Structure 1
Amino acid sequence: MGLEQHRNEAPLALGFAVITVSDTRDETTDRGGAYLAAGLEAAGHRVVRREIIKDDAQAIVDAVRRAVGDSQVDLVLTTGGTGISVRDVTFDTLRGLFDSEIPGFGELFRWLSREEIGSATILSRAVGGLLERKVVLALPGSPKALRLALEEIVLPEAGHLVGQARA
């Protein structure tokens, strides 16, 4: 089956979970989570779960497992905690949780980011993987990075990713 046929057979309207990982954000200051939710809904998708959690490995595991366990969630997006500081634990936590990794997601994100931020893209540890046949993508927290990921990767490929994860 070719790429176009896969895309044509992919689900169109998906259910998303958006999880913000931050020690400083709350419902009034979570611009990244709000941006993702608005962009997903504008594209015809549903945001069925939205959470803000601390930069803590167990909190990340618990939130992602809750999202994956929700039958209405097709794809999980996290935002924040993908840098290299000691508090940025999203990358390591999720890599240990995934059933399998989607290496092309992080690779493509960094390649596209290079256009905007040059060699500073090496500081990003955006990562994607599968957990219980659901797609989980960990995005940085910066507004420009979220725009890039949403417009250039998530929206164009979400249905295809979910369709392949279910196959």
Structure 2
Amino acid sequence: MTVPHPDKSAVSLNCAVITVSDTRTVETDNSGKIIQQLLADAGHEILAYTIVKDEPQQIAACLSELDKDTDLNTIIFSGGTGIASRDTTYEVVSNWLDKTIPGFGELFRWLSYQEIGSRAIASRAIAGSKNRQLIFALPGSSNAVRLAMKELILPELNHLIKQLQG
């Protein structure tokens, strides 16, 4: 993969990882563990990690609380982005964002299509910003999280933060 505008220097970012699930626990949250490990391996700090129920009020309350942390650069959600009746992360996050990054969801679904075929259409992965924080909402599957992190988020995270701060 070619990086069109290589970053001159990597920046250590402060991140929050939020798993949205009615059933996962800290012990069984493999996707949350993958996100944290990949961020740490890339030199970023995890300032917050939690699991919230797939309830719009709980997801919104979590976003409101994280918004108060002015040191926090990036929030990554995992789970609740499908079309099942209990999947509400997309609605909450999309209403929260000031600006969306449509290319993230488009590219994620295209990359997912390469791996899982037409079922990728059910993904409502989204990204954007609010108050100088980047926010990503990913599916809950470990494979989807790994794909999004390695192919899209980690390669562009420093660049996107610099754009927000510029």
Q: Tell me, yes or no, whether TM beats 0.5.
A: yes
TM category (shorter chain) comes to over 0.9
**1:92, distance to aligned residue in structure 2 (A):** 1.1
C-alpha contact (below 8 Å) 1:134/1:166 kept by paired residues: no
The aligned runs of 1:15-164 (5 Å cut-off) are 15-164=14-163
Superposed CA deviations along residues 60-116 of structure 1, whole A, max 9, x for unmatched, are 111122223212311110000000001000111111111111111101111111110
C-alpha contact (below 8 Å) 1:100/1:131 kept by paired residues: yes
Deviating above 3 A after TM superposition, structure 1's stretches of 4 or more consecutive aligned residues are none
Give 5+ residue unaligned stretches, structure 2.
Answer: none
Q: Secondary structure at the match of 1:4?
A: coil
C-alpha contact (below 8 Å) 1:68/1:76 kept by paired residues: no
Q: Secondary structure at the match of 1:141?
A: coil
- The separation in 1 between residues aligned to 2:119 and 2:152, in whole angstroms, is 20
TM-score, structure 1 normalization: 0.93
Q: Secondary structure at the match of 2:62?
A: helix
**1:13, distance to aligned residue in structure 2 (A):** 1.0
- The separation in 2 between residues aligned to 1:108 and 1:153, in whole angstroms, is 8
The amino acid across from 1:4 in the alignment is H
- Paired residues in the alignment total 163
- The separation in 2 between residues aligned to 1:71 and 1:8, in whole angstroms, is 25
| Corresponding position of 1:4 | 5
Alpha-carbon RMSD: 1.3
Q: Secondary structure at the match of 1:88?
A: coil
- The separation in 1 between residues aligned to 2:138 and 2:51, in whole angstroms, is 14
- The separation in 2 between residues aligned to 1:149 and 1:37, in whole angstroms, is 13
- The separation in 1 between residues aligned to 2:158 and 2:18, in whole angstroms, is 19
Superposed CA deviations along residues 113-161 of structure 1, whole A, max 9, x for unmatched, are 1110111100100001111121100010001101100100111000011
- The separation in 2 between residues aligned to 1:68 and 1:38, in whole angstroms, is 23
- The separation in 1 between residues aligned to 2:47 and 2:27, in whole angstroms, is 19
C-alpha contact (below 8 Å) 1:17/1:76 kept by paired residues: yes
